[in-house]
Amino acid sequence: MFTITKNAKNLSFGLMIIGLIALILGFVSDSHSAWPSLLFNTYFFLGISVFAVFFIALQYVAEASWSIVLKRIPEAIISFLPITGIIMMIIVITAVLHFGGNHIYHWMETGIMDQFITDGNGNEIENPKYDKIIAGKKAFLNTSFFIIRSIIYIVGWIYFGRKLKQLSINEDKHGGLDNYNKGFRTSAWFMVFFAITSSVASWDWIMSIDTHWFSTLFGWYIFSEWAVIGFVAILLITLYLKRLGYLEHVNESHIHDLGKYVFAFSLVWTYMWFSQFMLIWYSNIPEEVAYYTARLEVENYKFLFWFRVAINFLFPIILLMSRDAKRNNTRLIFVCIVILIGHWINSYLLVVPGTLNKHGHIGFTEIGMGLGFFGLFIFVVFNALSKTPLETKNHPFLEESKHLHT
């Protein structure tokens, strides 16, 4: 059984205290700026948690054997999903109610979809706030439907995550193929559910911030980011546990495979980013270009825009290209940390320029909240790891996974 070290506990508590201070100071000093910071940090860790469910489901439907000896790690990460889900729902509901200075979503502004309003004398007049483009999206972008969709995403992801985790525990206890077959069927249903909800959730929570803009690649772009940071989280925890002497059946081949996925999905993310950026830049249509000019022509974001692309692409492709590099634990840890920072910055750029315009910046509130989430993530995930044996039992592919060599 895994036991949380004193250093890990102290680190997690310390980071949570920093996060709580940042949260309080942020909302006391400027709640309008604090809400976007809370949103992009929540989105970042929600992506890691949801991807853990996807990872487990993918292993079932692909009938993959290589990952069985480390499946406790994504199962533990799933434990963080309810926390990020609840925080996301708080953000959504407060945005709808305009509570506490939450004005993240411009399309929720009162009257913005009403072409005519009634003046003080009862006469119908043109509404100066009316936005024809936003009004055209009213069937989808309305607050009631927005809340219902958000509940469906979060409740569905949590349900499937807990179901797969419970089936895995039952398999350890009872053996046989019954729980494995149930896991296979549950995973197949989840893949269909995830294919729809992951894309639509990205439109709702992130893309609708810049309401006039849209991208048909956006759902894939978000998924590729979730895949990168999800694999990075699994790999870092695996290396940490190996360093402490756990996961005796995880060998260089398992680490190598995780490294390959981090490398591959870093390239996929770069491809999605470039495809989206290049097509919009080349076509030069004003309503599409506006999204990038808000990030490229504002001094607060210009450096970060190119910096996140550089570290999310160049670091993996330069440092993880060779086979040996993916078996070098020190190099993997370094690259993974850099990638996490790069995608955290990317999450910031997805949210803040569209909400705060030129007034956004990375300061104590943004970094402090990120560290607080990280501390809470460590505490919850490590606590989950300590409650079940790290070594799985009775899985039909377990022996094959133990003797993996690539």
Give the tens place of pLDDT for each residue, 46-93: 999 999 999 999 999 999 999 999 999 999 999 999 999 999 999 999
pLDDT grade for 308, boundaries at 50, 70 and 90: very high
Amino acid residing at 27 = F
d(C-alpha 37, C-alpha 30), whole Å: 11
In this predicted structure, the answer to whether residue 114 has a pLDDT above a threshold of 90 is no
pLDDT grade for 129, boundaries at 50, 70 and 90: confident
Q: How much is the pLDDT for 116?
A: 80
In this predicted structure, the answer to whether residue 8 has a pLDDT above a threshold of 80 is yes
Q: Tell me the three-class secondary structure of 137-156, residue by residue.
A: CCCCCCHHHHHHHHHHHHHH
Residue 118 is inside which H or E element, if any?
A: strand 116-118
Predicted model pTM: 0.95
Nearest to 50 by CA among 170, 159, 147: 159
Domain limits, the chain: 6-105+142-386, 107-141
Name the percent of the chain lying above pLDDT 90: 83
Give the tens place of pLDDT for each residue, 269-281: 999 999 999 988 8
In this predicted structure, the answer to whether residue 320 has a pLDDT above a threshold of 90 is yes
In this predicted structure, the answer to whether residue 356 has a pLDDT above a threshold of 90 is yes
Q: How much is the pLDDT for 113?
A: 87
Give the tens place of pLDDT for each residue, 136-194: 999 999 999 999 999 999 999 999 999 999 999 999 888 889 999 999 999 999 999 99
Give pairs for 122-127: CB < 8 Å, separation 24+: none
In this predicted structure, the answer to whether residue 394 has a pLDDT above a threshold of 90 is no
Q: How much is the pLDDT for 102?
A: 79
Alpha helices in 284-363 (DSSP H): 286-296, 299-319, 329-356
Q: How much is the pLDDT for 237?
A: 97
The token pair that represents 178 in the structure block? 């019954």
